[in-house]
Structure 1
Amino acid sequence: MTKICRECDEPTDEPIAVALEHTASCGGRVVYLCPLCRSVLGVVPLDQHPAGTGGRVRYEEEMPA
C-alpha cells in the first residue's frame, strides 16, 4: 500500500506508522514516514510505542557515546 511520507511528501511503498494525529471535530488519522525519514529523524514506529503514549510522536533515545 503506497502512502505519502509526512516529512518528505514523497510516495513510499514501505510506509511506517509513527503517530496518531488527533482532531477536535472528527476521528484522527495515522501519520506515516518513509523508512529513510523515520531513520534520519529517529522516530519510533507506532507499533513500538509503550502503552499510554496516546499515539504522539516519540523519538529514539540517544545512545551513550
Structure 2
Amino acid sequence: MTAICRECDRDTADPVAVALEHAASAGGRVVYLCPPCRRLLGIMPLSEHPEGSHGFVRYVREHAP
C-alpha cells in the first residue's frame, strides 16, 4: 500500500497510520505519515494507541511537546 505523508506530502511505500481524522458529518479517515516524519515528530503509531484514545494524535513520551 502507498499513501501520501500528511507532513511532507510525498508518496511513501511504507505509510504509518498515526491518527483518525474526525469529521462532523462524515466518518473521517486515517492520517498517514512516512516513517522519517513520524520519528522526527515523535508521533505514536495508531496501532500502539491505548484503548480509548479515540484516534487523536498521541506523542511518544520522550518526544512530547
So what's the TM-score if we normalise by structure 2?
Answer: 0.94
Work out the percentage of aligned pairs sharing the same amino acid: 65
Query: Which structure is larger by alpha-carbon Rg, 1 or 2?
Result: 1
Q: Does 1:42 align with 2:46?
A: no
Secondary structure of 2:53's aligned partner? coil
- 1:6 corresponds to 2:6: yes
Counterpart residue number, 1:29: 29
* CA distance in 2: counterparts of 1:45 and 1:39, whole angstroms: 10
- Normalized per residue, the structure richer in helix is 2
TM-score, length basis structure 1: 0.94
Runs (4 or more) in structure 1 with deviation over 4 Å come to: none
2:15 counterpart residue number: 15
Aligned residues: 63
Give me the CA root mean square deviation.
1.0
Residue 62 of structure 1: how far off its partner (Å): 1.7
Alignment partner of 1:57 is 2:57: yes
